[in-house]
């Protein structure tokens, strides 16, 4: 879990006891490309830290798959609304690459929140960070043109272009595959 503890370091400091408690509930999963972490219509029971690999959160819209989020190594993947509300959600999560994950199960994590103030704090700061990220994505969708959004993604996640099919990137950016293809042709 070294990578995970590195990942959370900017959020808050954890004492030895908290760290050990987290290690005790975390499960290391090594899964092949294509594996479905979360199935649409079910409750998401785990928060996933991606040590290596790539995940894609998506949902069905009128028979077409829309990519909602992409997470690469050293980041979190989760069907957040479902995980928080404990209700089924339309989102599925699949692996776009063979991946190594650390899965934190909901209830044990909740227990740690109660038990360790430090971990509750970590939770608050991680959710806050998620909120900021989502707001910025939201702003982009409001503010920027599809072309600008594409440029931004190129800057922030240059590897995605090689790792994720264009159609998935297109729906992530909120346009059709054809439109994104034309945007690229112009640049």
For position 167 contacting DNA by CB under 7 A, the verdict is yes
- Residue that has been written with the tokens 């945007």 in this structure: 183
C-beta of 115 vs 148, nearer to DNA? 148
For the CB of residue 169, give the shortest distance to DNA in the complex, in Å: 8
Q: Which does 13 bind (CB under 5 to 8 A by kind): a copy of itself, DNA, none?
A: none
Binding site for a copy of itself (CB under 8 A): 61, 66, 68, 80-81, 84-85, 113-114, 117, 120-121, 123-124, 127-132, 134-138, 141-143, 174
Helices 117-143 and 146-156: crossing angle in degrees, nearest 10, is: 140
CA 180 to chain centre: 23
**What gap in Å lies between CA 69 and CA 4, rounded to an integer?**
20
Going by C-alpha positions, the residue among 7, 3, 9 that lies closest to residue 28 is: 3
Q: Which does 182 bind (CB under 5 to 8 A by kind): DNA, a copy of itself, none?
A: DNA
For position 182 contacting DNA by CB under 7 A, the verdict is yes
Locate all alpha helices (DSSP H) within the chain, ordered by sequence: 2-8, 16-25, 80-85, 106-115, 117-143, 146-156, 160-163, 166-173, 177-186
Give the list of residues 6+ apart from residue 81 with CB closer than 8 angstroms, or none.
87, 89, 91
For residue 6, the SS3 value is helix
For position 179 contacting DNA by CB under 7 A, the verdict is yes
For position 146 contacting DNA by CB under 7 A, the verdict is yes
For the CB of residue 98, give the shortest distance to a copy of itself in the complex, in Å: 28
**What gap in Å lies between CA 125 and CA 132, rounded to an integer?**
11
The window from 2-10, 87-95, 131-139, 167-175 that contacts DNA (CB under 7 A) reads 167-175
For position 151 contacting DNA by CB under 7 A, the verdict is no
The window from 22-30, 79-87, 108-116, 165-173 that contacts DNA (CB under 7 A) reads 165-173
Number of residues that bind DNA (CB under 7 A): 16
Q: By CB under 7 A, name the binding residues for DNA.
A: 145-146, 165-167, 174-182, 184-185
């Amino acid at each position: 879990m070294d990578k995970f503890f590195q990942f959370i370091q900017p959020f808050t400091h954890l004492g030895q006891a908290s760290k050990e408690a987290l290690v005790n509930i975390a499960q290391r999963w090594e899964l092949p490309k294509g594996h479905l972490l979360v199935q649409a219509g079910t409750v998401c029971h785990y928060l996933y830290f991606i040590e290596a690999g790539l995940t894609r959160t998506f949902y069905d819209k009128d028979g077409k798959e829309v990519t909602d989020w992409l997470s690469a190594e050293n980041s979190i993947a989760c069907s957040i609304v479902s995980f928080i509300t404990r209700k089924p959600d339309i989102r599925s999560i699949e692996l776009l690459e063979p991946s190594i994950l650390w899965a934190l199960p909901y209830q044990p994590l909740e227990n740690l929140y109660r038990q360790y103030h430090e971990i509750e704090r970590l939770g608050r700061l991680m959710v806050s960070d998620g909120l900021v990220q989502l707001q910025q994505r939201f702003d982009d969708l409001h503010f920027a043109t599809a072309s600008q959004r594409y440029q931004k993604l190129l800057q922030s996640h240059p590897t995605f272009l090689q790792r994720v099919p264009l159609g998935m990137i297109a729906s992530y950016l909120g346009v059709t595959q054809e439109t994104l293809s034309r945007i690229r042709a112009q640049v």
